[in-house]
Structure 1
Amino acid sequence: MIKKLLLFVFLFLLIQLKAHANFNYDANCVDAYRAIMSLRLNEARQLIQKEKQQNPQNGITVLLDNYIDYFGLLASENKADYERLKDNKAKRLSLLEDNDSNSPYYLFAQAEVYLQWSFLKAKFGDYVSSGFDAKKANGLLKDNAEKYPDFLPNQKSLALVNVIFGSIPANFRSVTRFLGMNGNVQAGVKQLEELRTTLPKTKYSFYNDEVIFFLCNINIDALHNYGAYPKLITYLSGMENNSLLKSFLQGYVASKSAHNDDAIAFLEARPKSNEYVSLPMINYLLGCAKLNRMDEDTPMFLNAYVREFKGTSYIKDAYLKMGYYYLLQNDASKYEAYVKLAQTKGYATDEKDKQALREANDTKPDLDLLKARFYYDGGYYSKALNQLNGREVNSFALIRDKTEYYYRLGRIYERTDKPNEALSAYQRAINNGKATRYYYAANAAVSIGRIFEEKRDYTKAADYYHQALEMKDHEYQNDIDNDAKAGLKRIGK
């Protein structure tokens, strides 16, 4: 009898506990979320702890804890922290599964945990597990959409899944087929664009900064849509002014779309107090932008990056760029010292670092080509062209430099709306370099394909995309092949 009574009491208490479990995005949680999106993670932790004390059964705090891990790891790229924190995923899913199953946040919160860890696993190279997490997130989001079709946060994450599986590189398509997943980047972007205009008028308006965060990353990294700069900067202007994430995104979008002076201005004006998480990538971006402008404080920022960064990306590239800075200053000893560091420090896993290692092991670059390269990267096209105007192709001794000379001219002409001149220069780059291991010829073929695609001459576009694919064993092989295959897919060839 006593055992039955105890069992009854236990079940009653369990039911009562379940009854009080909830998902409530109250003021504490909204403020914590906004602090996270501004990268003020310690402030967010304090607000989450306050909410846990006031409403210990609020499942939103579990989701917010995951956001802190997510943005913290994106900022640091610290592999040791990733290994230490990744077990939090299972614990949080367990807590969320025990919460209010009648809330639209119930399946959504679980999907968000899966989705965020999918991004993180991909970032740290665990691609298969990342795919399974993305697939799980997609299933939860679709189930939730059937139950709550008007729940706008769900639409944000479904759009992201659409983008993820629509932008998988061609060499990883077998993974998506194995998972039974497909996506459409353009459809996902359209969904996010619609949400960006819809959300501010709703009770979910606090999600708008996250939508802008993803739109910036997708346009720049997945679509290479550098012409979207004015639009994205306008979007970013609406984010909270004291947001480090806003400053970073402004600088990132500007630097990637060749608005170099803007990038420097945005990054130098960032909030700098101890309230914010450490974000070493800002020093890398500033160092690269300063080099594009040939500023004398270039090494200060790149040195700060390699000193502070605990991840693996761009270490070799940063050392090599410091070497190039000193080469352009005619300081041969410092150039050699930093090239040696590029050869021996960091990791050759990211494509930029692989390329930096190849360049560090190659013959010293021609100074005019090097200056033209950096001026071009910064959007200083007239300076880049002036750097090459005094040279003839036969003034270069190496086939590498002859090919790069034509390639750089093609890039400059393409960006300055001179397609015929660009086509001629790119073709010469192909003729000179198609049998070399350098990427110039293959990328020139992709560029010609893109120009003909814009002209709607799809037969010629397809021919050049195929030419790019036929070139083998060159730098950036996977990236260039993926660009060529994406071009062929766009034109249906």
Structure 2
Amino acid sequence: MIKRILPTVISLFIGFSSYANFDVNANCTQAYKNILSFKLKAAREQIDREKAMHPQNSFTILLDDYYDYFWMLSTESKTDYDRLKDNKSKRLDKLEDEDKSSPYYNFSLAQVNLHWALLHARFGDNSAAGFAIKRAYSQLNDNQKKFPTFLPDDIPLGMVNVALGALPDGALKSVLNLFGIKGSINTGINLLQNVTAHLPQSAYAMYYDEAVFYTTYLQTDVMNDAQAYQKMLQYTAAMDNSSLLKSYIQGYIALRTGHSAEAIRYFEKAPEGAEYQPYPYLNYLAGLARMNVSDKGAANYFNKFLQTNKGVNYIKDAYLHLAWDALLDGNIKRYTAFTQLVKTKGYTYNEKDKRALTEISDPHYQPALLQARLWFDGGLYEKALSVLKAKEADTFTTAHDKAEYHYRLGRIYEALQNDNNALSSYQQAINTGKGTSYYFAPMSALKAGNIYEQRKDSSKAISYYRMAIDFKNHQQENSIEQKAKEGLKRLKK
């Protein structure tokens, strides 16, 4: 009898112990939610309490990594990155000894790899980022095969697919190509939209905010989804108003989709207090939104960002916007001083900061073109059009200014759904900008391709996408070429 019962008892004990190794209990759930709300102090206390009460609960390893990831998002600090990056290998070593029969095993390994892949790329460590993405991608695919109903997998798997599919040529893509890793934008966005729709009614509802975080960002910045703003409003309606992440998502998506006035309101309503992790980046975003609607207080937000920011990104771009503010005020002396700070302050890990350096290498901005650009970004399309219609292309003397004039007109007409005028303006931008190193001509070819694709005129769309690719040695070359190639892929199906 004892011989028959003993194996059963042992198997039950082992099964119970293995299950407890990834115990997503109420305390862990609340800690995770606090991390995503940027309530990092409370989260830290809850994680430490869980470790003391249940030292064998391996889910705390993943929570520690989420904590570091959101800490780094808020600080952007290279010092913190150098201090914390060794945590990745330590956590992976610990997790690899845990319960392999749990869906949280590969999920946790992949999330740690993915968090650090994003951070490595943020600080220019592309080789480390490539290796981490390779591991995460493999672990997520394995987990999906073993546990096809485990919804949380679809969040990082969808995000990785979109990011890999949209990745422009460069150091990171070269590393990933060596591993034979290629993503699919359509596969990724479908995974994210599906999981975002199904999480609230599932046993994994706690992951909803994270799914919204990635889905809204990729719909806006990668997919250029015309409905991105409306979709964001629907997604975030179910999020807690006390979450700083909600305010960030709402403000960022509003800013990126031509709703700067709304973005200002979202940032103004962002929750504040000692319980929240300081997030200087929000002041930078608020400065952008205010500048896009000619709010004279914009400079105050850029200065506040520069005073409180301990990170390495957006410093050059903040000084660039302060230079623009001075130029629009007619203060050339102050404009020149800020352009010097663009050159000497900050770093070039971030694409925005790289472009800031490129921007100031050009001749002085034409205030009318700059004002039209900012109003367009703010969604003030009629005002942007009026400032350009008051000018004629012949009043500009350089190829740069002539090409930009036509390109800006094209963008405005397209936003106003006047596609015929947009196509005419884009063609003029191509004619005046070809042979230069500026992005106006190739970007106009890409935009014209988009319009013809929407019109179902495949032959013309393909022609313009190929034209965009054929332009070489210009600003934003990798990004424009990648988007044109994606357009060709869509049309060849």
Could you state the TM-score of these two structures normalised by the residue count of structure 2? 0.92
Distance of aligned partners of 1:104 and 1:484 in 2 relative to their CA distance in 1, 3 Å threshold: closer
Distance of aligned partners of 1:176 and 1:490 in 2 relative to their CA distance in 1, 3 Å threshold: farther
Alpha-carbon separation, structure 2, partners of 1:203 and 1:141: 19
Deviations 1:248-297 (A, max 9, x none): 11000000001010110001110121211121111111111111111111
Question: Identity of counterpart residues, as a percentage?
Answer: 44
Measured after TM superposition, the shift of residue 17 of structure 1 is 12
Alpha-carbon separation, structure 2, partners of 1:480 and 1:107: 35
Measured after TM superposition, the shift of residue 345 of structure 1 is 1.6
Distance of aligned partners of 1:363 and 1:31 in 2 relative to their CA distance in 1, 3 Å threshold: same
Contact 2:166 2:482 in 1 (8 A): no
- Greater mean alpha carbon deviation, residues 344-353 or residues 71-80: 344-353
Could you say which residue in structure 1 is the equivalent of 2:110?
Answer: 111
Deviations 1:26-50 (A, max 9, x none): 1100100110110111110001111
Measured after TM superposition, the shift of residue 372 of structure 1 is 0.6
Q: Residue 35 in 1 paired to residue 34 in 2?
A: yes
Aligned residues: 479
Alpha-carbon separation, structure 2, partners of 1:358 and 1:145: 43
Contact 2:122 2:350 in 1 (8 A): no
Alpha-carbon separation, structure 2, partners of 1:101 and 1:299: 53
Distance of aligned partners of 1:194 and 1:337 in 2 relative to their CA distance in 1, 3 Å threshold: same
Measured after TM superposition, the shift of residue 75 of structure 1 is 2.0
Q: What code does the residue aligned with 1:453 have?
A: E
Q: Residue 358 in 1 paired to residue 358 in 2?
A: yes
Specify the SS of the correspondent of 2:240.
coil
Deviations 1:211-238 (A, max 9, x none): 1111012112221224321011210121
Distance of aligned partners of 1:328 and 1:489 in 2 relative to their CA distance in 1, 3 Å threshold: same
Alpha-carbon separation, structure 1, partners of 2:231 and 2:344: 41
Deviations 1:33-79 (A, max 9, x none): 11011011111000111111111111111110000011111222211
Could you say which residue in structure 1 is the equivalent of 2:9?
Answer: none
Measured after TM superposition, the shift of residue 21 of structure 1 is 5.4
Alpha-carbon separation, structure 2, partners of 1:379 and 1:365: 21
Alpha-carbon separation, structure 1, partners of 2:62 and 2:350: 30
Q: Residue 436 in 1 paired to residue 431 in 2?
A: no
Could you say which residue in structure 2 is the equivalent of 1:256?
Answer: 256
Could you say which residue in structure 2 is the equivalent of 1:12?
Answer: none
Alpha-carbon separation, structure 2, partners of 1:126 and 1:170: 16
Could you state the TM-score of these two structures normalised by the residue count of structure 1? 0.92
Q: What code does the residue aligned with 1:187 have?
A: T
Measured after TM superposition, the shift of residue 438 of structure 1 is 1.5
Q: What code does the residue aligned with 1:351 have?
A: E
Measured after TM superposition, the shift of residue 416 of structure 1 is 0.5
Alpha-carbon separation, structure 1, partners of 2:145 and 2:15: 28
Alignment of 1:4-403 (within 5 A): 22-171=21-170, 173-403=173-403
Measured after TM superposition, the shift of residue 204 of structure 1 is 1.1
Alpha-carbon separation, structure 1, partners of 2:241 and 2:337: 41
Gap runs ≥5 in structure 1: 1-14
Distance of aligned partners of 1:84 and 1:226 in 2 relative to their CA distance in 1, 3 Å threshold: farther
Distance of aligned partners of 1:81 and 1:476 in 2 relative to their CA distance in 1, 3 Å threshold: same
Could you say which residue in structure 2 is the equivalent of 1:6?
Answer: none
Alpha-carbon separation, structure 2, partners of 1:445 and 1:143: 41
Measured after TM superposition, the shift of residue 163 of structure 1 is 2.4
Alpha-carbon separation, structure 1, partners of 2:376 and 2:163: 30
Contact 2:88 2:112 in 1 (8 A): yes
Alpha-carbon separation, structure 1, partners of 2:196 and 2:394: 53
Deviations 1:278-333 (A, max 9, x none): 21111111111111111111111111122222333221221111111122112232
Alpha-carbon separation, structure 1, partners of 2:356 and 2:269: 29
Distance of aligned partners of 1:446 and 1:16 in 2 relative to their CA distance in 1, 3 Å threshold: closer
Alpha-carbon separation, structure 1, partners of 2:359 and 2:155: 41
- Greater mean alpha carbon deviation, residues 172-181 or residues 221-230: 172-181
- Greater mean alpha carbon deviation, residues 17-26 or residues 335-344: 17-26
Alpha-carbon separation, structure 2, partners of 1:289 and 1:359: 19
Distance of aligned partners of 1:367 and 1:164 in 2 relative to their CA distance in 1, 3 Å threshold: closer
Contact 1:316 1:345 in 2 (8 A): yes
Specify the SS of the correspondent of 1:98.
coil
Deviations 1:178-233 (A, max 9, x none): 21222212122212222222221222110111111110121122212243210112
Alpha-carbon separation, structure 2, partners of 1:322 and 1:357: 14
Distance of aligned partners of 1:138 and 1:477 in 2 relative to their CA distance in 1, 3 Å threshold: closer
Contact 2:95 2:109 in 1 (8 A): yes
Could you say which residue in structure 2 is the equivalent of 1:492?
Answer: 492
Distance of aligned partners of 1:162 and 1:365 in 2 relative to their CA distance in 1, 3 Å threshold: closer
Gap runs ≥5 in structure 2: 1-13
Q: Residue 423 in 1 paired to residue 423 in 2?
A: yes
Alpha-carbon separation, structure 2, partners of 1:124 and 1:60: 27
Specify the SS of the correspondent of 1:348.
coil
Distance of aligned partners of 1:287 and 1:306 in 2 relative to their CA distance in 1, 3 Å threshold: same
Measured after TM superposition, the shift of residue 169 of structure 1 is 2.0
Measured after TM superposition, the shift of residue 446 of structure 1 is 0.9
- Greater mean alpha carbon deviation, residues 310-319 or residues 245-254: 310-319
Specify the SS of the correspondent of 1:363.
coil
Specify the SS of the correspondent of 1:169.
coil
Alpha-carbon separation, structure 1, partners of 2:163 and 2:280: 26
Alpha-carbon separation, structure 2, partners of 1:489 and 1:147: 31
Contact 1:21 1:100 in 2 (8 A): no
Distance of aligned partners of 1:334 and 1:170 in 2 relative to their CA distance in 1, 3 Å threshold: closer
Deviations 1:112-161 (A, max 9, x none): 21122122222222222222222212322333333333222223333233
Alpha-carbon separation, structure 2, partners of 1:452 and 1:102: 51
Q: What code does the residue aligned with 2:119 have?
A: L
Contact 1:343 1:361 in 2 (8 A): no
Could you say which residue in structure 2 is the equivalent of 1:3?
Answer: none
Could you say which residue in structure 2 is the equivalent of 1:5?
Answer: none
- Greater mean alpha carbon deviation, residues 148-157 or residues 253-262: 148-157
Q: What code does the residue aligned with 2:285 have?
A: L
Contact 1:18 1:99 in 2 (8 A): no
- Greater mean alpha carbon deviation, residues 55-64 or residues 194-203: 194-203
Contact 1:233 1:250 in 2 (8 A): yes
Contact 2:166 2:483 in 1 (8 A): no
Q: What code does the residue aligned with 2:233 have?
A: I
Q: What code does the residue aligned with 2:43 have?
A: A
Alpha-carbon separation, structure 1, partners of 2:326 and 2:390: 23
